[in-house]
Amino acid sequence: ASTLGAAAAQTGRYYGAAISTAHLGEAAYVNTWTAEFNGVTPENEMKWDTVEPNRNQFNFAPADRIVSQAASRGMKVRGHTLVWYQQLAPWVGGLDANNLRSAMLNHIAQVAGHWKGQVIAWDVVNEAFEENGTRRQATFQQKLGDGYIEDAFRAARTADPGAKLCYNDYNTDGINAKSTGIYNMVRDFKSRGVPIDCVGFQSHLSANSNLSSYQANLQRFADLGVDVQITELDVGGSGTGQANVFRQVTQACRAVTRCTGITVWGVTDKYSWRSGDTPLLFDGNYGKKQAYTAVLDAL
């Protein structure tokens, strides 16, 4: 195959990119996205501060632009994200526990309901764990306690029964305290019938990342009976070092049957959120980097 998407499709997987509406007017950006990728995650457009800037007032238009382009090209859409302590609308922070719970459940019902049937997987909850494997002490956790995560998953299942429901986090790129805390939560959810279908590994990496237990970590989650996905891959660096890390991640996903797809967190280095890190597969002129070839060969 000669594109990332087509190569991934040979094994039933997708290869996606985060896309921002800010650049949809740039032909080379859109052309590279649609030529190379068969999946998409809106980079910011489905986050709370955009979709519900005021209580019960919803703004779906920005993400709809991405979803409709994806649909017309048969691309898979990942929904990102329903419950996260960042990029929250300011009004959410002022709520007491009862109002926060009902606002969270309403947000999930409205947002997942709006894109029902159009999103293959939702990052239902994002970044809820600390590096030491305990729950992150942020808005939802502080006011609602541990139960908010399973409440969110149940609400998402009701809103869009066909979407895979994922927990998503970073610094989970091997067997470590954080990934083990998440692993224990997923095991508990599976044992109690809480509806969780997948775990997303953001994989914001660098050329010197140690990936010695990356594949084993994906596999131990898969063995719990959930799919795994690489959801926000980028690798700071350049040349052979960067290409090797991209290759290792690609090979790890291929080696794990339940690893269903990879998403890179952007198309071109010039628009990466990690400015200066040149962490993506296409340079600022949309030229294919060494890392691109490594990925295409490994898919």
Are residues 115 and 158 in contact, defined by beta-carbon separation less than 8 angstroms? no
Among 14, 36, 39, 43, binds ligand XIL (CB under 6 A): 43
> If binding is defined by CB under 6 A, does position 206 make contact with ligand XIL?
no
Residue among 126 and 209 whose Cβ is closer to ligand XIL: 126
E strand residue ranges, the chain: 14-19, 39-42, 76-83, 121-126, 164-169, 198-201, 204-206, 227-236, 259-264
Question: Contact letters (x/-) for ligand XIL, 79-108, by CB under 6 A?
Answer: ------------------------------
- In angstroms, rounded to a whole number, what is the distance separating the alpha carbons of residues 270 and 288? 13
Instruction: Write down the least CB distance from residue 240 to ligand XIL, Å.
Output: 26
Amino acid at 243: A
E strand residue ranges, 154-237: 164-169, 198-201, 204-206, 227-236
Among 21, 69, 126, 215, binds ligand XIL (CB under 6 A): 126
- In angstroms, rounded to a whole number, what is the distance separating the alpha carbons of residues 155 and 151? 6
Instruction: Write down the least CB distance from residue 86 to ligand XIL, Å.
Output: 7
- In DSSP terms, 169 is beta-bridged to 201
Instruction: Write down the least CB distance from residue 279 to ligand XIL, Å.
Output: 11
| 3-state SS, residue 15 | strand
Instruction: Write down the least CB distance from residue 12 to ligand XIL, Å.
Output: 25
Residue among 17 and 299 whose Cβ is closer to ligand XIL: 17
Residue among 123 and 151 whose Cβ is closer to ligand XIL: 123
- For ligand XIL (CB under 6 A), the number of binding residues is 6
Closest listed residue to residue 124, CA positions, set 92, 158, 91? 158
Residues recognised as catalytic: 232
Residue at shortest CB range from ligand XIL: 273
Closest listed residue to residue 227, CA positions, set 122, 73, 114, 82? 122
Residues 230-259 that bind ligand XIL (CB under 6 A): 232
Q: How many CA atoms lie within 13 A of 58 on its CB side?
A: 16
Residue among 176 and 293 whose Cβ is closer to ligand XIL: 176
Closest listed residue to residue 82, CA positions, set 193, 159, 187? 159
Residues 262-281 that bind ligand XIL (CB under 6 A): 273
Residue among 126 and 217 whose Cβ is closer to ligand XIL: 126
Among 3, 44, 141, 176, binds ligand XIL (CB under 6 A): 44
Residues that bind ligand XIL (CB under 6 A): 43-44, 126, 202, 232, 273
